[in-house]
Amino acid sequence: AEFPAELDRIWGQVEPLYKALHCHVRARLSDRYGTDVVALQGPIPAHLLGNMWAQSWENIYDIAGPGESAAVYDLTAILNEQGFDAIRMVKTAEAFFSSLGFDSLPDSFWQRSLFVKPADRDVVCHPSAWNVDEKEDLRLKMCIDIDEADFKVIHHELGHNYYQRAYNQESYLYRTSANGAFHEAVGDAVALSITPEYLASIGLLEEVPDASGDLGLLMKEALLKIAFLPFGLMVDQWRWKVFAGEVTAEEYNDLWWALREQYQGVAAPRDRPPEAFDPGAKYHVPMNISYTRYFLAQILHFQFHRALCDIAGNEGPVHRCSIYGSQLAGERLNAMLKMGRSKPWPDALEAMTGTREMDATAILDYFAPLQEWLEEQNAARECGW
């Protein structure tokens, strides 16, 4: 009973920001497609948000973003122009971890991982990270596209691999993360350091945009991460009700869409047929992988980032902070990773951040300039659904 209440508390902290983003995105979609398609009240049709599951919305940045006033660079275009292939994407992410003081990945990682979608057979492309022998046999399994999204997902996955290797000295039962969310948060925290300054330092950007571009950068990040929050929460709200027997099999799909509407404010593009089972299309449902970890990781990795930036001596705004090259930050991160599950997670959190609670103030502080802008944009709009 404590855990769901804790989730409600954290969701309550971020809900106003989500609702502000939702309101703005709905208005922009309505301008684009007309009020017949996107009414200015009510939920957003889920198929207009640029993602199969409407779980993150960065693909509609061109519609929802602040436009010319805060132009952002196009990392996908840059990666392609510079001729990146899948291996080079992974090597670049590995180099980031190396700059923090982590040992490089073993040769077997490069031999045994799957980086590219095979042409001759079907594979499960959903990204995953493995330590096959619980020691050094680290592997990545992912069908990498040369784009910004996958560049970040690679950092996410390597976060799993470095964590797995860091706790491999622990006894068997402790060879996992402090809690489920910690495993998901490590690589995402590192990926927050993919700032313009960092990209310039590794030759991917010629000029560092000034602060006038920050709104665009924050919007991109928010479409990815703030949009995700209610989805991250609703998947297990659905699953827990199913497992508790609160609904019959005939009601599974209707419950899914009721929760989608309640939390995310999105609606099915059309009436769903009685035999539909839409949650089955989300990898983690048939794979029986808990999903609340992703909701909490979204909160937690901003706490990690803020703490690591302090340790690295950052003095500017936290959304411009990169811990690239900071051995100090790397040491503190590694000290936590090494603990695995040998201590209660609040101890692990405290070791790195000085606090024992998962808390949304870090993510809210990070997005504060965007929230202010969204509230201005929404001033004359009617929000909610």
The binding site for ligand X8Z (CB under 6 A) comprises: 127-128, 153, 156, 294
CB-based contact 197:35 (threshold 8 Å): no
Closest CB to Zn ion among 94 and 184?
184
Closest CA to 26 of 4, 6, 7, 54: 54
At residue 187, the 3 state secondary structure works out as: helix
Closest CB to ligand X8Z among 35 and 290?
290
Closest CB to Zn ion among 187 and 216?
187
CB-based contact 374:215 (threshold 8 Å): no
Minimum distance from residue 190 beta carbon to ligand X8Z (Å)? 14
Catalytic residue check, 284: yes
Closest CA to 17 of 320, 308, 223, 283: 223
Minimum distance from residue 267 beta carbon to Zn ion (Å)? 28
* Window contacting Zn ion (CB under 5 A); options: 110-118, 163-171, 180-188, 231-239: 180-188
Could you say which of ligand X8Z, Zn ion, none residue 294 binds, taking C-beta under 5 to 8 angstroms by partner kind? ligand X8Z
Q: Token pair of 317, please?
A: 């705004």
Minimum distance from residue 190 beta carbon to Zn ion (Å)? 13
Closest CB to ligand X8Z among 109 and 294?
294
Catalytic residue check, 157: yes
* Window contacting Zn ion (CB under 5 A); options: 178-186, 309-317, 321-329, 377-385: 178-186
Catalytic residue among 47, 221, 284, 375: 284
Catalytic residue among 58, 94, 148, 157: 157
The phi and psi torsions of 326 (rounded to 5 degrees) equal -90, 105
Minimum distance from residue 289 beta carbon to ligand X8Z (Å)? 8
Instruction: Report the C-alpha gap between 288 and 165 in whole angstroms.
Output: 24
Q: How many CB atoms lie within 10 A of CB 78?
A: 17
Closest CB to ligand X8Z among 282 and 306?
282
Number of residues that bind Zn ion (CB under 5 A): 1
Residue type, 9: R
Contacts to Zn ion from residues 181-210, by CB under 5 A? 184
Closest CA to 218 of 85, 61, 38: 61
- 225, exposed or middle or buried, with CB in 10 Å at 0-12, 13-18, 19+? buried
Instruction: Report the C-alpha gap between 193 and 100 in whole angstroms.
Output: 12
For the annotated catalytic residues, the residue numbers are 157, 284
